[in-house]
Chains A and B, each alone.
Chain A
Amino acid sequence: MKKTVSVLVVLLLVIGIVPMFAAGAKEGTDAGKIKLRFLGMAQAAYSEKNVNDMTDDFMKANPNITVSTEFVPYEELRNKTMLAYGSNNPYDAVLVDDIWYAEYASKGMLYDITAKVPASYKEGVLAGAWNVTTKQGKVLGLPWFLDTMYLFYNADMLKKAGYTNPPKSIEEMVDMARTLKAKKIVEYPFVFSLAQAEALICVYANFLEAFGGSFQDASGNYILDTSGVKALEFLVSLKNEGLLNPNSLEYLEEDVRRVFSSGDAAFTLNWAYMFALATDPAESTIAKEAVKVMVLPGAKGVKDFAAMSGSMGLSVLNQSKNPEAALQYILHLSSKKVQDAYSDLQLPVWTASYDDPKLAVGREQLVEASKKAFSIMNVRPSEPNYQEASAIIQQYVQRALYGEITPKQALSDAVKKVKEIK
């Protein structure tokens, strides 16, 4: 009997605690207020805190609108958006990766803002950025950030090996890596985010660019089995030579950053956000001056530089009950004022922002690199089936990296599979 009593006591306690939480969490439920839901991504830049701060400012300026923000990992972002879209509880505004625009557009999910974008945005935002959010002549979102995987390298390590200049080509970079390894300056000169995820495609896509290959031909057929082999052979050879950190196969961007920032790699590819964190002594143990960033050089005789876009936009969903308020909100998030204020981790999409010399202070090389990258940036395929095609390519690229099949075989199998789903 004693036991029963104690069980009941605990149950009662638990039940008693719940309303306390509920009470503590009660929010103002004023009628007449517009409520918006925004779905963003748990990432480093803009971080959840950044977005929440921006949102607070927006709510202060628009007291009749409340925005609740939700953040999910990149891997869940697309699924969540699509699942919620069909439900009773859709989001009003969402963050959209450039590769998803075609898919969302084909399903009619995105609110057409072609006629609603203020002229100041149309003219002020970098011209290339609008390509990300425009599908079939319709503007379906506001560019939020333009990004690519830049090449980061550790200049101290290079110096120790006798190199004072940055690599001018992929080949030169590999030579440097070989020397670094031979001189035991670093065990694995390269570390990349090659986990079975979109991050792998981003890395591969940049090298694909560098070797002059492309995903598709002009009519949209995947041609990686011919034009993509060199880039994959390159990655495989790095692994076989012991130049690539073998853990790369389970790494995403943040893991890569940790490795680079702890001085365990000489070269890596990562988004712009890494620059600020790699030079921040609280987040990095390598000397600030050693962190160098540049656009990935191309293969010798192919091209000088290569960049593949990993940009994102903000869009209003068609199911939103308050599309105008939602548009107002994303206009705020992507406004020049906000972007300039939070430019430390993410570079603005506004042309005029780059005129301000203050933007480049302390990170001249990043701003320099980004200007170059924005002008040459290519994009991953943007089509309704991309996500599935990408998943297939991820698997086969990994299999080649494990040495189960040759790069040639892997890519022709992958292309065959991708054709099957179409």
Chain B
Amino acid sequence: MSKKTARNQILLTVPMIVIMGAVIGWPLIRTILLSFTDAQLMDSGTSGFVGLANFRNAITNEGFLASLKISAIFAFVVVTSEMILGTAVALLVNEPFKGRNLLRAFLILPWAVPTVVNAIMWRLIYNPEYGALNSLLTQLGLIDSYISWLSSANMALGAIIFADVWKNFSLVALIALASLQTLSSAQVDAAKIDGANALQRFGYITLPHLIPSLQVALVLRIIEAVKVFDIIYIMTKGGPANRTRSGSIFVYQEAFTNSRMGSGATYAVIMVALIMIFILFYMRIITKKR
């Protein structure tokens, strides 16, 4: 490689590095620095260094640990459901039937609806008194009395998960469908002639073909799900009794509502570290397929 091309390469990446440094690198470093201080929201740099005190508090704070658990449960259930539902739907709309194209076209709808709108929409649907869900279930005779979806301690998180799955299963389905369309029918037919039943054909041909794109979908969804904030903040603000308070919401409250920037940053750093472990693990899956 000549010196000139080396210089050119650097030149071409400089703008991106500058932007990334300004809006990502620098703030991230500042967050890490803040996490060792007792900075308050409103003071201007008069904060004191407190060493690891914030971290010691953080790892023993029940509220924080509980919120991490909620993030983990949310991510696990949401992503698992979306992967299964999405794949099933992709297989379904890959079959020939009348109206298939219409159905495919509408598949993009949930994904296109903005998260905030999705949250508001489901909050209206779940409204315990005038929501469509209670009304529908009663009229179908499935429930006797109205249910408080978002204020029942055991159901609130589930209700949010259901809302999130509605929006995001479609992403998985769309990705899986795109991959299915590149599967040659000759291969499937050959297996058919060899006497493979539907289950075998799925297990030996379709699924292996799907796996790379499902991995992409999986990673995209996990990343989104572990940092969940918007949908919960709008639907329940973390209630009832903190039963739906995710890690991101916890950090937000600590830093902005309780005005403790320093310890808020600590919680953020711990969350980042945990997510990083998560991601490194999945990074290896992506790179392995190359």
Give the interface of A toward B (CB within 8 A).
Answer: 75, 78-79, 82-83, 85-86, 107, 195-197, 246-251, 255, 258-259, 262, 264, 387-388, 391, 395, 398-399, 402, 404, 421
B209 within 8 Å of A by Cβ?
no
A250 touches B239 (CB 8 A): yes
B44 touches A395 (CB 8 A): no
A404 touches B129 (CB 8 A): no
Closest Cβ of chain B to A265, distance in Å, is 10
B257 touches A83 (CB 8 A): no
Residues from chain B with Cβ under 8 Å of A264 in the complex: 129
A195 touches B151 (CB 8 A): yes
* A402 to B85 Cα, complex, angstroms: 33
B257 touches A391 (CB 8 A): yes
* A86 to B42 Cα, complex, angstroms: 6
Closest Cβ of chain A to B112, distance in Å, is 15
Residue of A nearest to B253 (CB): A391
B259 touches A82 (CB 8 A): yes
* A85 to B258 Cα, complex, angstroms: 16
B129 touches A388 (CB 8 A): no
B253 touches A402 (CB 8 A): no
Residues from chain A with Cβ under 8 Å of B42 in the complex: 82, 85-86, 107
Can you report 6 A-B residue pairs in the complex whose CB atoms are below 8 A from each other? A75-B237, A107-B42, A195-B151, A248-B151, A402-B241, A404-B153
The digit string for B20-51, where 1 denotes a CB below 8 A from any CB of A, is 00000000000000000000011010000000
Closest Cβ of chain B to A63, distance in Å, is 35
Closest Cβ of chain B to A285, distance in Å, is 12
A402 touches B257 (CB 8 A): no
* A391 to B258 Cα, complex, angstroms: 9
B258 touches A404 (CB 8 A): no
B212 within 8 Å of A by Cβ?
no
Q: Give the 10 A-B residue pairs with the shortest CB-CB distance, closest first.
A: A196-B239, A250-B151, A398-B241, A249-B151, A247-B128, A247-B148, A399-B241, A402-B153, A388-B258, A250-B150
Residue of B nearest to A78 (CB): B257
B130 touches A195 (CB 8 A): no
B44 touches A86 (CB 8 A): yes
Residues from chain A with Cβ under 8 Å of B152 in the complex: 246
Of A78, A79, A259, the most chain B CB neighbours within 10 A belong to A79
B237 touches A83 (CB 8 A): no
Our pick among A258, A388, A399, A404 for the contact of B257 (Cβ within 8 Å) is: A388
Task: Kindly list 11 other residue pairs between chains A and B, CB separation below 8 angstroms, not including A79-B256, A250-B236.
Answer: A82-B259, A195-B239, A196-B236, A246-B148, A246-B151, A251-B151, A255-B129, A387-B258, A388-B257, A402-B240, A421-B258
B262 within 8 Å of A by Cβ?
no
B151 touches A83 (CB 8 A): no
Our pick among A86, A246, A395 for the contact of B242 (Cβ within 8 Å) is: A395
B247 within 8 Å of A by Cβ?
no
Residue of A nearest to B244 (CB): A196
Known A-B contacts A86-B41, A247-B151, A250-B150; the reply to A196 vs B238 at CB < 8 A is yes
* Interface SS, B side: loop
Closest Cβ of chain A to B152, distance in Å, is 8
Residues from chain B with Cβ under 8 Å of A259 in the complex: 129
* A100 to B58 Cα, complex, angstroms: 27
* A248 to B240 Cα, complex, angstroms: 11
Closest Cβ of chain A to B232, distance in Å, is 12
B130 touches A196 (CB 8 A): no
Interface residues of B in 152-190 (CB under 8 A from A): 152-153
The digit string for B113-151, where 1 denotes a CB below 8 A from any CB of A, is 000000000000000111000000000000000101011
A395 touches B241 (CB 8 A): yes
Residues from chain A with Cβ under 8 Å of B238 in the complex: 196
Residues from chain B with Cβ under 8 Å of A391 in the complex: 253, 257-258
* A78 to B259 Cα, complex, angstroms: 11
Residues from chain A with Cβ under 8 Å of B242 in the complex: 196, 395
Residue of A nearest to B148 (CB): A247
Residues from chain B with Cβ under 8 Å of A246 in the complex: 148, 151-152
Residues from chain A with Cβ under 8 Å of B151 in the complex: 195, 246-251
Residues from chain B with Cβ under 8 Å of A399 in the complex: 241
Of B237, B253, B257, the most chain A CB neighbours within 10 A belong to B257
A247 touches B129 (CB 8 A): yes
* A87 to B253 Cα, complex, angstroms: 19
Our pick among A82, A85, A197 for the contact of B237 (Cβ within 8 Å) is: A197
Closest Cβ of chain A to B160, distance in Å, is 12
Residue of A nearest to B44 (CB): A86
* A256 to B151 Cα, complex, angstroms: 14
Residues from chain B with Cβ under 8 Å of A404 in the complex: 153, 241
Residues from chain A with Cβ under 8 Å of B237 in the complex: 75, 196-197
Residues from chain B with Cβ under 8 Å of A258 in the complex: 129-130
Residues from chain B with Cβ under 8 Å of A85 in the complex: 42
* A107 to B44 Cα, complex, angstroms: 12
B148 touches A83 (CB 8 A): no
Interface residues of B in 208-263 (CB under 8 A from A): 236-242, 253, 256-259
Closest Cβ of chain A to B60, distance in Å, is 11
Closest Cβ of chain B to A150, distance in Å, is 22
Closest Cβ of chain B to A231, distance in Å, is 18
* A196 to B151 Cα, complex, angstroms: 10
Residues from chain A with Cβ under 8 Å of B44 in the complex: 86
